Amino acid sequence: MHNMTTKTTQSKQLEGIVVSDKMKDTVVVVVDEFIKHPKYHKFIRRQKKYAAHDEGNQAHVGQKVTIEATRPISKTKRFKVVSREE
């Protein structure tokens, strides 16, 4: 007999702040990342912007949101909004 196992993959989740909500069903989220420099051991802050799908335009500028990687929705959108804080 052959054992069938289901493989579950955990999606990449990031936390950030909404900086733009002017598009339809899309928000721009800035994600901060603190990394340690390999040679100088100083912490560096890096920021990256992600376009995320927001069904129904629920998130607004200044809100903290969690985004999750998903299939490509458009040319730039590869994430969707999972949860948001009020």
- pLDDT tens digits along 6-42: 666 677 899 999 999 999 999 999 999 999 999 999 9
pTM (predicted TM-score): 0.81
pLDDT band, very low/low/confident/very high, at 5 (cuts 50, 70, 90):
low
Question: Of 19, 82, 13, 83, which is closest to residue 51 (Cα–Cα)?
Answer: 19
pLDDT of residue 85: 81
d(CA 66, CA 4): 33
pLDDT of residue 84: 83
